Homo-oligomer: A and B are copies of this chain.
């Protein structure tokens, strides 16, 4: 079973990577880029075959390792 996790910075948390990308896009001549936020995507392949159990397990992974819940949000998709 495959799972995909998105980890993104919470609203209001400064995103220097996103700001750097936005600046570089401007320097390359791309106009009208108003905001850029950069996050992580983590794709997992799990031996678990039950979707509900897999989702619970991946959420636990997010809380314990994959995200910093002080400054980041995460979403879990089971594919």
CB <8 Å contact, B28 and A47: no
Give the number of times this chain occurs in the complex, counting copies. 2
Q: How many residues of A contact B (CB 8 A)?
A: 32
CB <8 Å contact, A32 and B47: yes
| Chain B nearest Cβ from A2, distance in angstroms | 9
Q: Is A66 an interface residue, CB under 8 A from the partner?
A: yes
| Chain B nearest Cβ from A9, distance in angstroms | 10
- Contact (A28, B66) CB under 8 Å given A39-B41, A40-B41, A43-B8: no
Docked Cα-Cα span, A65 to B48, in Å, equals 37
Q: Residues of A with Cβ closer than 8 Å to B?
A: 6, 8, 18, 21, 24-25, 28, 30-48, 57, 60-61, 64-66
